[in-house]
Structure 1
């Protein structure tokens, strides 16, 4: 979640994966996937930076034991699943 600010100064959190569009004219408006609209005090570029930071943090957490990054894993928690070869057999070239 990212924290943004309403025009009256109240903060709220929004799921950045549900933001469909962001535009400024002149206020910054977040248009959500369900059609909801939120007008926020942050500039569009600031909201985009918050989203990028959020996503980088998610990836960082996936590679580390904790938020602080104290212990790095030898393999990530996220991985790519490779498809099998023809008729369900294993592909050649192995891992």
Structure 2
């Protein structure tokens, strides 16, 4: 789960597994697999970083350090 901020200042917690795409229009718009769109204050890069950290925390993807170790 990632925590984000709507344009009106309300915080929301979102299950990152349901994110289909992130776009900047210039506002950051997140499209969920259901088709619902959420506009947030965070930049596209910030949201992507939060998603990556969430995926790492649940073991869905490894850390860069682990990947480099496995390549050796």
So what's the TM-score if we normalise by structure 2? 0.79
Matched residues, number: 59
Q: What residue is the counterpart of 2:32 in the other structure?
A: 32
Unaligned runs of 5+ in 2: 60-72
The structure where helix makes up a greater share of residues is 2
Moved over 6 A (4+): none
Residue matched to 1:13:
13
TM-score by length of 1: 0.61
Q: Tell me how far apart the structure 1 counterparts of residues 57 and 16 of structure 2 sit (CA, whole Å).
A: 13
Of Structure 1 and Structure 2, the greater strand share is in 2
Structure 1's unaligned 5+ residue stretches are 60-95
Higher relative contact order (CA 8 A, sep 6+): 2
Greater C-alpha radius of gyration: 1
